[in-house]
Amino acid sequence: MAERIIFHVDANSAFLSWTAAYKVNVLGESLDIRNVPSVVAGDKASRHSIILARSTPAKKFGIRTGEPLFQALEKCPDLVIVPPDYTLYVEASRHFVEMLRQFSPAVEQYSIDEAWVDMTGTERIWGTPRLAAERMRQRIWEELGFTVNIGVSTNKLLAKMAGDFEKPNKVHTLFPEEIQEKLWPLPVRDLFLVGGATEAKLKKMGIYTVGDLAKTDLNVLRKRLGKHGETIWHSANGYNVDIVTPEPPENKGYGNSTTTSRDVTTREYAHQVLLSLCETVAARMRKDGKFGSCLSVHLRTSEFQQYSHQEKLLGATNITGEIFRAACKIFDEAWDGKTPLRQLGVQMTMLTSEAYQQYDLFSELSPVKYERKLRLDEAVDALRDKFGEDVIHRAKFAKDPGSHMMGGLDKARRTGVTKPVPKEIPGDKEE
């Protein structure tokens, strides 16, 4: 039996590269944002705008992906800011995955700009793993116009770790026999699934490198960190049995959250935000033919404290009004009415493919009324699909119609193509 060979393929600075190429090659703009300090981020007037991608010149100012935009502007006041274009990114991602499938049918997309490819048994077609990876990298550059990093190993974990080595436009291997040399000297924070909180706990235990973690007694880690301690110990030792799964797993829940433009200090404003979130969550559920029977409401205070409450519903539903009514009830029970909030979220879980309701003599909703509400929501969905989501909104949003469907995916990704996009992404010479 052939040894498993897994590639992890990650596009380098994808959002900024794709945006720059579109502006120069399609729109004909003279400024190439790859050559100046620039970032992809939202509206700088919005307090929740963060850096999604950065150019190489921006990196020299210490600007980091994921940091708030206002901090980046303090480092570089002349920073060029371009808004994200998710329609373009989705199109580019589609071409990216199609290219990978030309090398192997077993492709698992991990995010919009990275995927695993099972290359087991393809050596007669593409050559050795290293040669195949170089061929893949070169073809993506020549035909799609952007660079990638490719990690090569015998399992998904090690392939991803290898792909995160030196960037951009590189091929790296991390086979089991290379773990001690290449993986163990790395800071423990570099290990997949080790975040800031876990890193702090590990350092208190005297664990600073991946090698330190790999050599730690597993029972000690279980006692201090629980199941997660066992997971990262296996990762540090290169153990992983996950297979490349071409089809994405079915949704286990539908959630949505938003950071508000101002602090939430009244129930009226909170309910309006919840309604906008319920609109998008319920619409996604109806589109997928799913119904949920457990609703959670998540709150984040202006001091960044987080807490959530949930409630089991009497039935499984995807009706916007029913989800909203339950969300308001949960929120009113959870919030003290005084603490300012900066973020609200809702999530539906316990999904089924069929609706069901429990009715009694005191229920406000009869089977007939329930059916009418469902048909009304479906009619609204049809109108929004055809004419755009802003074609109809509830009276509650009459003064601010732009906020009637908040959070979740960018509006462009919910409403479809808003301008022509290239069949192939033009070249990226700054990677």
Give the residue ranges of DSSP H helices in 205-362: 210-215, 218-225, 227-236, 267-288, 320-334
How many CA atoms within 13 Å lie on the side-chain side of 140? 32
CA distance 197 to 243: 28
Q: Amino acid letter at 184?
A: W
Other Cβ atoms within 10 Å of 340 Cβ, number: 12
Coil, helix or strand at residue 206: coil
- Euclidean distance between CA atoms 11 and 14, whole angstroms: 5
The conformation of residue 3, written as its DSSP 8-state character, comes to P
Tell me: cis bond preceding 246? Omega within 30 of 0 counts: no
- Cβ pair 240, 156 in contact under 8 A: yes
Query: Which whole-number Å values give the CA distances from 9 to 41, 203, 354, in the listed order?
Result: 24, 31, 38
Catalytic one of 91, 108, 114, 279: 114
114 in active site: yes
What is the C-alpha to C-alpha distance for residues 212 and 207, in angstroms, rounded to an integer? 5
HEC assignment per residue over 383-418: HHHHHCHHHCCCHHHCCCHHHCCCCCCCHHHHHCCC
Element (H, E) at 421: none
Whether 87 contacts 419, CB under 8 Å: yes
Q: What number of CA atoms fall less than 13 Å from residue 72's CA on the CB side?
A: 30
The residues annotated with a catalytic role in the active site are 114
